[in-house]
Structures are given as C-alpha cells and as structure tokens.
Homo-oligomer: A and B are copies of this chain.
Amino acid sequence: MTREEIDLYEIIQAYPNFPKQGILFRDINPVFRSNDAMNFVCSEIYRRFKNIKIDCIAGIESRGFVLSSFVAMKLGKGMIMIRKAGKLPGETIGKSYNIEYGNAIMEIQKNSIERGQNVLIADDLIATGGTAMAAAYLIEELGGIVAGFAFVVELADLNGATILRNKGYKVHSLVVYN
C-alpha cells in the first residue's frame, strides 16, 4: 500500500449503539493495527506541525497513549502521560472536567514538564473537548506551552475542536465527521 492509497475514512469502523444506545462509536483500532496507516497518520501530523517547535508529546488516557507514542517515536520526542485520577505516583496536579453525569479528574506528574517546554497534545478523538481542555490546563499550569492538538477523529457537531480553535489553539484532525 502506498501512502496515497491510505483512506482513513475507509479504515475507521463505525459501531452503532456502542458503548450504549444512541452512540455511534468510531473505532480507530483498524488504524492502530496497520503500520501503513499509522505511518500515514504520523506523517500527516508531522506535516501539519512541522513549523511549530515541539519538545514532547502528551497522550490522554488511554487510546491517546497509542497515538501519542507513535507520534513521539516518529518525531524523535518523549511521551508524557495524562491520566485518570489516582494512577500517577509522586507529586501530581489534577483538573476536573465534565462527563455525562458529574465530573472526572485528569492528572499529570509535576516533574513531567519543564517550564517553557512546547507540548503537542495527541488523542485519538475529540468530541466535546472536556479532556482536551483539562490536558491543556494541566500543561499550562506546569509552565508548559501547548504547541497544538492532534486528533485522528473530530466529531464536528460536538464542537470541542471549535472551542479549542476559538481559544487560539492550533488544532488538526485528520478525519472529520458531522
């Protein structure tokens, strides 16, 4: 398969009513499973951010760990985990964000970012953007600079990517569904 033949829309699968009734789940596992597809994804992310200084890649638990690690290896950078509360040892800071019923908390280790470092945040998918905004808050709270956001899938009608762009962040999604 050559790079030109990679059509992410064709590779990503849709599962109606998963994980529950009324949700159309976009499954990017078939992308992760294909090295050709991941090379394409990483090359596209590199291309879109090549004029931006990036010191490290932050991945949001847990599918974001896959994308961020592939991108980190491709770009020759390290990878930082942004995790659900209680998973990271040592000194951490947390940020709560809204989920469907109530709140959840994302955490980062205080020593994971040096002041002034440029951090690209990577996640498989952006919907309402709650975790993405929590991730940006955590990085900035530690003195890091959010170099941008890279997503494989953007669910445009849930507006998360638009909110991030309106806040002035550079956001690139490889596949957009309305």
Interface membership of A125, Cβ < 8 A: no
Interface membership of A89, Cβ < 8 A: yes
Interface membership of A168, Cβ < 8 A: no
List the B side residues contacting A88 at CB < 8 Å: 29
Mark the stretch among A69-77, A95-103, A156-164 that contacts chain B.
Answer: A69-77
User: Would B33 and A56 count as touching, CB distance under 8 A?
Assistant: yes
Bound complex: CA A77 to CA B34 (Å)? 7
Number of this chain's copies in the assembly equals 2
Given contacts A29-B88, A90-B27, A66 and B59 within 8 Å (CB-CB):
yes
Shortest distance between the CB of A18 and any CB in chain B (Å): 4
Interface membership of A86, Cβ < 8 A: yes
A65, A72, A90 — most chain B CB neighbours (10 Å):
A65
Bound complex: CA A58 to CA B31 (Å)? 14
User: Would A89 and B15 count as touching, CB distance under 8 A?
Assistant: yes
List the B side residues contacting A77 at CB < 8 Å: 35
Q: Please give the residue numbers on chain A whose beta carbons come within 8 Å of chain B beta carbons, in ascending order.
A: 13, 15, 18-19, 25, 27, 29, 32-35, 37-38, 42, 56, 59, 61-63, 65-70, 72-74, 76-81, 86-90, 109, 112
Closest 4 CB pairs of A and B: A69-B69, A73-B73, A15-B89, A62-B62
